[in-house]
Structure 1
Amino acid sequence: MKTDHQGVTRTGIARVAALALLWGSSFLWIKLALRGFNPVQIVFARLFLGFVILVPIVLSRGLRFPSERRVWGHLFVAALISNAVPYVLFGIGEETVGSNVAGVLNATTPLWTLLLAFLVGVDRAVTVRKTAGFALGFLGVVVIFSPWESAGEIASWGGLACLAAAASYGLGYVYMGRFLAGRGIPPLMLSAAQLGAATVLLALAFPFAGLDTPTWRLDAVASLLVLGALGTGAAYVLNYRIIDDEGPTAASVVTYLLPIVAVILGGIFLHEAVTVAIVAGIALVLAGVTLTRKRSAEKR
């Protein structure tokens, strides 16, 4: 087994970067999917597709789904607060607010995670370096999106929905870190089981909000497929692995990297302008993430 700390750190950074790419690109796929489907339909489809993708992989490795009722109870709670609620809230919120506002509010997830993890005792190692890193990362996101140009949107119902979704994500990170990660259940199994539980929850809500007739556009359908297979299935395997290895607070820092991915993809595929403020914000984000990733000399 490789015990070199530099190797572990490089592996962790690579996982965070990969997860940021998968989740950061999800904003693009969601925008395209909205051309043919409503938010509830999109969430149900991405969860179901993610589950369908993971099940054959789980079975091919000889893994078995949990049999304990308590574990499934935790999985359904995690599915509710980490999948069903925030996915739908962001879909609803982005119908009335700009993506820049949603991006800033989504980037409060690590701050919620840091606060909640400390309050419930999951992560008491709140150092000055770590706190400064989170604050610097959030400042970078604010500089990138310049929300003061859309202050009215933040105070709207759509803005509140996005803020509630970010808080739900933070609660989800803490809950998974306390009750599911590090319990001897493989991350792949946890991912498949949670997505299955979330799919059931959305199926129950579908008759109330998902019966609108969809428009079967090719770009919308293709976006759903990518969103489900990569942005949900593959992403959740990485997410649980990072939580298991480094804790919920470290895992939530990936949220700060999502705007960078969004900016890069927007510049490449949508020809959006990359301003000086965006470059400065990206530098601040990377500096903040670097601070949160550094381990103390004593731990090394």
Structure 2
Amino acid sequence: MEKIVENKWFLLIVIALTWGSSFILIKKSLLVYTPYEIGAIRVGVSGLIMAYIGIPALRKMPKKLLFWVILTGFFGNFFPMFLFPLAQTQVSSSLAGILDSLVPVFVLIFGFLFFGIRSRWIQFIGAIIGFIGAASLMFFSETSTEDSQFFYALLVVLATACYAISALIIKEKLQELPFLELSSAVFTVWMVPSFMILFSSGFFQNFEANAESYEALRYLGILTILGTAIAMILYYKLIQNTSPVFASTVTYLLPVVAVIWGLLDGERFTIWYMLGGILILIGIYLIGKNKDLKRPPLN
């Protein structure tokens, strides 16, 4: 079993299936709960589950790493958890899943800008193609019918940029931390702010004990345990075992899973979804074609 968990392709497929299913679970949860309640429950409950490991990990953690743990938690575990449900109040789960595949593009760009990681010219071409695909999706799909919908699609793009920053911080600054301690620590840190948001949202005061609420809560429970806590632990392990670029190629499979769920739920799939998605995947392929990004020599 240990060898299976260490296998990068096994991790990649499991993460793609869980995260690819997250968009439809968010959609079902939004039938009853607000985006802020969904985000707060995902992070807060995950932190509560993992605090048994996270609290001791934080206590023994070197102070020089604490800042990076807090920062990667904000970009990878906290902020995007609110952006996705907020975006999906206006855009479909299929479109959100396709746009989420932009993560490798931002890994490439931010890796160069913030960490001096060199890339090949073909990878920059891939980044440009990926952005063209995302732009065509947002301009020519149903998000173009209203300015507000276009704005909400941009929230998904912002979330993917956050994931990229988090992945780079993990690889560049937190490589020495065991993946289980790292993932538990970041959720534990952001657990308290999440519960504060949940209490202020009126979730407990306004909760109605009916069949609809319990059904949405089941979807939210699956989303929290599988799509947030477990998937994030595996993702951190994949980053540490490979690289941010390889780990972010989970986005090859993620939109496929998201679109399949969307079609099963009766969502409309247009030609622009296909064209935009293909352009993004071509871009990701070119970015991953030379996975060993080079650093400048130290002077």
Q: Contact 1:250 / 1:292 at 8 angstroms: preserved in 2?
A: no
Deviates more, 1:250-259 or 1:189-198: 250-259
Give the partner amino acid of 1:47: V
CA distance in 2, matches of 1:153, 1:108: 23
Give the partner amino acid of 2:162: S
Match of residue 41 from structure 2: 45
Match of residue 206 from structure 2: 213
Match of residue 4 from structure 1: none
Does 2:123 correspond to 1:130?
A: yes
Q: 5+ unaligned residues in a row in structure 1: which ranges?
A: 1-6
Find the partner of 1:161 among 148, 155, 158: 155
Does 2:91 correspond to 1:88?
A: no
Q: Contact 2:123 / 2:290 at 8 angstroms: preserved in 1?
A: no
Give the total of aligned pairs.
282
Q: Give the CA deviation at 1:64.
A: 4.8
Give the partner amino acid of 1:270: D
In angstroms, what is the RMSD of aligned CA positions?
3.6
In the TM superposition, 1:1-300 aligns within 5 A as 11-54=7-50, 58=53, 64-66=56-58, 67=60, 68-121=62-115, 123-124=117-118, 126-135=119-128, 147-150=139-142, 151-153=144-146, 156-180=150-174, 182-183=175-176, 185-211=177-203, 213-216=206-209, 217-267=213-263, 269-272=264-267, 288-294=283-289
CA distance in 1, matches of 2:86, 2:189: 22
Q: Give the CA deviation at 1:225.
A: 1.4
Q: Give the CA deviation at 1:274.
A: 6.4
Give the partner amino acid of 1:82: G
Deviates more, 1:279-288 or 1:188-197: 279-288
Deviations along 1:122-161, whole A, 9 cap, x unmatched? Answer: 632x123434455556666677x57503324466442343
Q: Contact 2:41 / 2:194 at 8 angstroms: preserved in 1?
A: no
Deviations along 1:17-65, whole A, 9 cap, x unmatched? Answer: 2212111100111111112221122112222333344456x59xxx951
Q: Contact 2:171 / 2:240 at 8 angstroms: preserved in 1?
A: yes
Q: Contact 1:141 / 1:256 at 8 angstroms: preserved in 2?
A: no
Match of residue 3 from structure 1: none
Give the 3-state SS of the residue equivalent to 1:173 in structure 2.
helix
Distance of aligned partners of 1:285 and 1:21 in 2 relative to their CA distance in 1, 3 Å threshold = farther
Give the partner amino acid of 2:217: V
Deviations along 1:248-281, whole A, 9 cap, x unmatched? Answer: 23323323432211112233x4255667776666
CA distance in 2, matches of 1:189, 1:271: 40
Distance of aligned partners of 1:153 and 1:23 in 2 relative to their CA distance in 1, 3 Å threshold = farther
Distance of aligned partners of 1:73 and 1:204 in 2 relative to their CA distance in 1, 3 Å threshold = farther
Q: Could you state the TM-score of these two structures normalised by the residue count of structure 1?
A: 0.76
Give the partner amino acid of 2:123: K
